[in-house]
């Protein structure tokens, strides 16, 4: 049954509220079929040389983030208004699940203070689109990816990847999340097919209860290159209208960001 415009507005508002609880913010700037039970394991734990012993600084990580103009068809924003400032505002009811929550909020999934993040969103106007959206769902049909970079000394990056991989298994039955005073229930976590980029990747999907209006499936990927870890988490606000899948992480974003890492 096709929903009325009012129902679409409610669904969009629900998605906005979800983003607030997951990422402490909601943005208007941000199709695949719903992720069904066919999600597959994708920890491509490729062997790699020993990571560098010295971590990048926050300032150095900010320079390694994708910048405006470096990826055609996408807009890059600092994320200052859409990303949580620190891990202290993103908590779960199961410590083992904290790395997953942090990874979906562009925060360091491991033990480090060297962290930087931004947002990378589709720029359909740059692609030459001139037609106006026909309805609310079309207006919000934009992939927005929250990108985080973190750097570690010694084997810290590898430990961070293990924490994420372990979290996917331990938190399979879900967990409770509190961000900036908002509570959200993640009902399922499962391994997903990753890009295989960098030295090691872990990808996962999360089903989230949409406050009694159904579920939404979100995709995340974590990539290690040397002693730097990149996290990617994508939201497409029109996804709730299209079966509940909120969009896979665009391969172009992963490729371009990992290529910049040293």
- Model pLDDT for residues 24-46, shown as the tens digit of each residue: 333 334 333 333 333 333 444 44
Task: Please give the mean pLDDT across all residues of the chain.
Answer: 79
The predicted-structure confidence for 175-193, as pLDDT tens digits, reads as follows 999 887 788 899 999 999 9
Q: For 189, list phi and psi in degrees, rounded to 5.
A: -130, 135
169-to-35, 36, 57, 262 alpha-carbon distances in Å: 18, 18, 31, 30
Can you give the pLDDT at residue 242? 67
Q: What is the pTM of this model?
A: 0.78
Average the pLDDT over each of 5-9, 40-44, 207-211 and give the range with the smallest value. 5-9
84-to-64, 106, 187, 199 alpha-carbon distances in Å: 20, 8, 22, 27
CATH class given for the domain over 5-31+39-260 = alpha beta
73-to-27, 70, 112, 117, 124 alpha-carbon distances in Å: 18, 9, 32, 19, 7
Can you give the pLDDT at residue 134? 53
Q: Copy the structure tokens of residue 150.
A: 């973190």
Alpha-carbon span 141 to 238, nearest angstrom:
5
Alpha-carbon span 132 to 112, nearest angstrom:
45
Share of the chain above pLDDT 70, in %: 72
Say yes or no to pLDDT of 6 above 90. Answer: no
pLDDT band at 240 (very low <50, low <70, confident <90, very high): low
Furthest-apart CA pair in the chain: how many Å? 57
Alpha-carbon span 114 to 253, nearest angstrom:
21
Cβ-in-10-Å burial (0-12, 13-18, 19+) of 115 comes to buried
Cβ-in-10-Å burial (0-12, 13-18, 19+) of 142 comes to buried
């Amino acid at each position: 049954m096709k929903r009325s415009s009012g129902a679409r507005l409610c669904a969009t508002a629900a998605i906005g509220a979800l983003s607030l609880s997951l990422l402490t913010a909601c943005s208007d700037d941000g199709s695949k079929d719903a992720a069904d039970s066919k999600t597959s394991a994708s920890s491509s734990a490729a062997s790699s040389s020993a990571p560098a012993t010295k971590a990048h600084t926050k300032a150095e990580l900010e320079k390694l983030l994708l910048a405006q103009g470096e990826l055609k068809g996408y807009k890059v924003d600092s994320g200052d208004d859409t990303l949580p400032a620190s891990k202290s505002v993103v908590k779960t009811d199961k410590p083992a699940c904290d790395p997953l929550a942090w990874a979906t909020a562009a925060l360091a999934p491991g033990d480090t203070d060297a962290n930087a993040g931004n947002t990378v969103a589709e720029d359909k106007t740059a692609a030459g689109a001139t037609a106006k959206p026909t309805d609310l769902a079309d207006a919000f049909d934009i992939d927005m990816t929250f990108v985080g970079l973190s750097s570690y000394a010694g084997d810290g990056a590898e430990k961070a990847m293990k924490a994420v991989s372990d979290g996917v298994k331990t938190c399979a039955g879900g967990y409770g999340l509190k961000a900036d005073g908002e509570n959200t229930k993640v009902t399922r976590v499962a391994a997903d097919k990753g890009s295989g980029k960098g030295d090691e990747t872990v990808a996962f999907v999360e089903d989230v209860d949409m406050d009694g209006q159904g579920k939404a499936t979100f995709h995340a990927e974590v990539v290690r290159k040397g002693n730097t870890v990149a996290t990617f988490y994508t939201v497409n606000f029109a996804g709730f209208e299209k079966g509940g899948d909120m969009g896979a992480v665009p391969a172009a974003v992963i490729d371009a960001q990992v290529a910049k890492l040293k």
